Amino acid sequence: MPVRNDSISTRLWFSSTRTLHPRQKRQRAMRGKRSKSDLTHSHSNAHCVMKILKGSLQETRYDWPTVTQNNHEERPLDVISEKIYDKDQVTYMSDKLGLHKIRNPHPTEYAVSLHLYTPPNAAIYGCNTFDEKTGTPRRVNKCTFYSEYGQREGADRP
């Protein structure tokens, strides 16, 4: 079913945001960003389906760094693929496919995407981000959200 722009506007702020809708059994995160990029990250043994609702987003996938690959030395992550997804396109990501980052390649246009995670492990347990130049992981204990239940963090919620 197509998503109308007015149906998401009440729950999306046009900055780099993550919005959690935890009433569902799966975590749902929407992002609005322009000329921005996520950190390269893992998915904490979860499945992620992403649909582009507005604009275009570029996904860069990387191989997992290993001690054998790096020979105990810091070295850049190996790029597996790069692909641009446009409005209404859907993609899938999991740790079995590697690491990835999502980037809005357009300097002035916003992009909005819907991410469905099952199970929502990163929101509960955290995930790893990776330095692309060295392959060094950094543990993020819990994902933070700009808003929950359609309200900005810190605001009164139902």
CATH number at residue 97: 2.60.120.10
Q: How confident is the model at residue 25 (pLDDT cuts 50, 70, 90)?
A: very low
Q: Distance (Å, rounded) from C-alpha 121 to C-alpha 119?
A: 6
Asked if residue 112 belongs to a domain, the reply is yes
Per-residue pLDDT for 152 more than 80? no
Q: Average the pLDDT over 25-38 and give the result.
A: 60
Asked if residue 70 belongs to a domain, the reply is yes
Q: Does the annotation flag 41 for ligand binding?
A: yes
Q: Does the annotation flag 47 for ligand binding?
A: no
- Bridge-based pairing state of the strands 40-41 and 90-94: unpaired
Asked if residue 122 belongs to a domain, the reply is yes
How high is the mean pLDDT of the chain?
77
| Residue 107 pLDDT | 87
- What share of the chain has pLDDT > 90, as a percent? 41
Q: Distance (Å, rounded) from C-alpha 88 to C-alpha 97?
A: 22
Q: Does the annotation flag 106 for ligand binding?
A: no
Number of H helices, E strands in the chain: 3, 13
- Region of 72 please: left (phi>0), alpha (psi -120 to 50) or beta: left
Q: Distance (Å, rounded) from C-alpha 62 to C-alpha 38?
A: 14
Domain holding 57, by residue range, is 26-145
Count: domains in the chain: 1
Asked if residue 106 belongs to a domain, the reply is yes
Asked if residue 135 belongs to a domain, the reply is yes
Asked if residue 13 belongs to a domain, the reply is no
Q: pTM surpassing 0.85?
A: no
Q: Distance (Å, rounded) from C-alpha 147 to C-alpha 155?
A: 9
Which segments of the chain does DSSP mark as H helices, in order?
5-8, 67-70, 121-125
Asked if residue 2 belongs to a domain, the reply is no
Amino acid identity, residue 84?
I
Q: How confident is the model at residue 119 (pLDDT cuts 50, 70, 90)?
A: confident
